[in-house]
A and B are shown apart, each in its own frame.
Chain A
Amino acid sequence: MTLFETLSSALRGITANKLRSVLTLLGVMIGVAAVILLLAVGNGSSQQINNLITQLGTNTLTVRAGSGFGFGGATASEDNSTKKLTLDVADRLAHSGLGHVDAVVPQVDTSLTVSSTATSESSVSLIGTTPNYFTVTTSKVGSGSAFTTADVTSAAKVAVIGSTIATELFPTGSALGQTISVDGTPFTVVGILATQSSIGIQDPNSVVIAPISRVQRSYTGFGAISTMTVEATSSADVPAAQGEVEVMLDQLLAYDPDTSTANAPYTITDQTQLLQTAAASAQSFTVLLGAVAAISLLVGGIGVTNVMLVTVTERTREIGIRKALGATRPAMLGQFLVEAATLTLLGGLLGVVAALIGAQFEINGTQPIVLGYSVPLALGVSVAIGVFFGVYPAARAAAMRPIQALRSI
């Protein structure tokens, strides 16, 4: 029996029962597509997190006023026994010659109404800081320029605004050079931030950044600052820098962690800690999706197995007839092997195509990224299942004496 005969015989077998063949194909297709696509979604979301980590930079530390993760710096350090985190403290920290610290960026935060002649936005985050904020943090100036050290010294009424604020306040034209009113005080827009992707509930593009001296004078007062961003000399030096900063701050704030009964006046967080948590949750998300995908592949495989077993059982008689006419075992096996392989391979390839098309679309805010290994894995597993359960019972039937196969219905 030639290869061509085997092929045409197998194809006749496939087309003879179209519904059964289509169901098999569909089972494999859905299984394969689900595995590839779900893994791609999981992979896409963890890639997203990884991109954010790189974007943020891993060589910065955040020093917050108060103990714990409170975001309101103004409410911290109400305990009078220790000194507060002030601009002066930040200044002295920056100039204390710490070996692993490159820069210290002080920051005060508040939330105010910002308006242009056209419209106004309430509860906009206002950050007062120094020019090196734009080099140390991920907020980069997209157009225009940052304010200068001179602006800080003179407490100039200039601001760099986020891209969301820029388009909301000035929907028709550029915001650069325009005047905005922050709680009644006019500021000149000198720069617009480059758009950043969001990692939390707060939109990082909805922000107004002004010289810290001006913000303190007009809004927050000259008391405590809310945060300092400390830039370490490199990401490897972050732990060393953290130690140095702790020692120095304890000294500057006259705080002894061993004897003091008061809460710590500051908290240091590694910028990446939050993101590592996010990355970990993305990882478990991927694992979860992978499990769901594996189950769908299994269910698809069971479907294929079922169809194949039924096919072979109902065709045992045919195997008997063919053997009575002089078919050899290899010829019978070849026919069923080609049949099963054609069906599952075709279904698998259709599944791959479906998954690749599906991966072009954003799913639930995540752009799926197809994992290279998932394609041969999904295809291989489904084809292996289909071929095994297509061929194994056929092999048993082909090994029977013809009369045994003929007697079975």
Chain B
Amino acid sequence: MTDTAPLVTAPVLELRDIHQTYGAGETAVQALRGIDLRVERGDYLAIMGPSGSGKSTLMNLLGCLDIATSGQYLLGGVDVSELDDRQLAKVRNRQIGFVFQSFNLIPRMTALANVELPLIYGGVRRAERRALALEALELVGLADRVDHRPHALSGGQQQRVAIARALVTSPTIVLADEPTGNLDSQSTDDVLGILDSLSQAGRTIVVITHEDAVGAHAARVVSIRDGLLVDDRRNRAAGTTALTAASAVVSAGAGR
């Protein structure tokens, strides 16, 4: 919703001149140095970059796990930096489904209980919660593993449980931080297959990766280097032309 770009559809998320600095004084590290990014509803975006490029920092900001030093982050049109702790918790619960590289399941809880967890914090009733969680686990192909604890599941299965947990609240956006980073190739294919089908079902997905194979699944690939977006293109498979001007991302991305 900048002055130069008329509103066509409200973007799911929009970053305006995001800076993130860790530490202070001489030891300060500028992880992000002015990021502008706009993601439309139903898009499948991959953020790529070498380690240290700032992509994880960006992901943590998108997931409201961290707060930017400066800049605006609009999620569904709402400025996240204005929200208090309780409202942020609600945003994380309702709007964002986060898939971590290291799964981050709670070890002593069953797959079903792990998937139910966000619904508990969302205040969903027990019976409904169970039904939704079972449905989500079925979607990732783990209907027969609901009572297993994480340690009794393979890495790929654990990541599928984590995806089910991210999906169960029907979030506005699914964020996946190197979702295949800890997986073998078979599990990687499983997980990417699930993300693809989610995208086809109309979910907005943002994936962080440094693997080209993972990036190839996305419709749009954004490259980040040294805290700046350096490349933004559409994969041909997704039927759009590549776009290279990083600085023009915000206005050019509108209406696509």
Does B94 lie at the interface of the complex (its beta carbon under 8 Å from any beta carbon of A)?
yes
Closest Cβ–Cβ distance, residue A242 to chain B (whole Å) = 76
Contact B65 A326 (CB under 8 A): no
Q: Which residues of A contact B65 (CB under 8 A)?
A: 324, 401-403, 406
Contact B98 A324 (CB under 8 A): yes
How far apart are the CA atoms of A233 and B104 in the complex, in Å?
86
Does A322 lie at the interface of the complex (its beta carbon under 8 Å from any beta carbon of B)?
yes
How far apart are the CA atoms of A403 and B65 in the complex, in Å?
5
Among B64, B89, B94, B106, the residue within 8 A (CB) of A318 is B106
Does A78 lie at the interface of the complex (its beta carbon under 8 Å from any beta carbon of B)?
no
Closest Cβ–Cβ distance, residue B88 to chain A (whole Å) = 9
Does B77 lie at the interface of the complex (its beta carbon under 8 Å from any beta carbon of A)?
no
Does B187 lie at the interface of the complex (its beta carbon under 8 Å from any beta carbon of A)?
no
Within 8 A of A (CB), among B53-89: 60, 63-67, 85-86, 89
How far apart are the CA atoms of A329 and B85 in the complex, in Å?
8
Does B165 lie at the interface of the complex (its beta carbon under 8 Å from any beta carbon of A)?
yes
Contact B123 A325 (CB under 8 A): no
How far apart are the CA atoms of A401 and B61 in the complex, in Å?
11
Tell me whether A402 and B92 are in contact in the complex, defined as CB-CB below 8 angstroms, given that A1-B121, A326-B118, A326-B121 are known contacts.
Answer: yes
Does A321 lie at the interface of the complex (its beta carbon under 8 Å from any beta carbon of B)?
yes
Q: Which residues of A contact B67 (CB under 8 A)?
A: 401
Most buried by A among B60, B65, B100: B65
Contact A328 B120 (CB under 8 A): no
Does B117 lie at the interface of the complex (its beta carbon under 8 Å from any beta carbon of A)?
yes
Contact B109 A325 (CB under 8 A): no
Count of chain A residues near B, Cβ 8 A: 23
Q: Which residues of A contact B98 (CB under 8 A)?
A: 324-325
Among B89, B108, B109, the residue within 8 A (CB) of A328 is B89
Does B52 lie at the interface of the complex (its beta carbon under 8 Å from any beta carbon of A)?
no
Contact A323 B92 (CB under 8 A): yes
Contact B92 A322 (CB under 8 A): no
How far apart are the CA atoms of A409 and B120 in the complex, in Å?
25
Contact A324 B63 (CB under 8 A): yes
Tell me the nearest residue of chain A to B129, going by C-beta: A5
Q: Which residues of A contact B108 (CB under 8 A)?
A: 12, 16
Does A7 lie at the interface of the complex (its beta carbon under 8 Å from any beta carbon of B)?
no
How far apart are the CA atoms of A16 and B106 in the complex, in Å?
11
Most buried by A among B106, B109, B123: B106
Contact A326 B122 (CB under 8 A): yes
Contact B104 A326 (CB under 8 A): no
Q: Which residues of A contact B63 (CB under 8 A)?
A: 324
Tell me whether A331 and B121 are in contact in the complex, defined as CB-CB below 8 angstroms, given that A323-B92, A406-B65 are known contacts.
Answer: yes
How far apart are the CA atoms of A354 and B130 in the complex, in Å?
42
Chain A residues with CB under 8 Å of chain B are 1-2, 5, 9, 12, 16, 317-318, 320-329, 331, 401-403, 406
What are 13 inter-chain pairs, A to B, with CB distance below 8 A? A1-B120, A324-B98, A324-B104, A325-B165, A326-B92, A326-B121, A326-B169, A328-B89, A329-B89, A331-B121, A402-B64, A402-B92, A406-B65
Known: A321-B106, A325-B118, A325-B121. 20 other contacts (CB 8 A): A1-B120, A1-B123, A5-B120, A321-B105, A323-B89, A323-B92, A325-B92, A326-B93, A326-B121, A326-B122, A327-B121, A328-B85, A328-B90, A401-B65, A401-B67, A402-B92, A403-B60, A403-B65, A406-B65, A406-B100
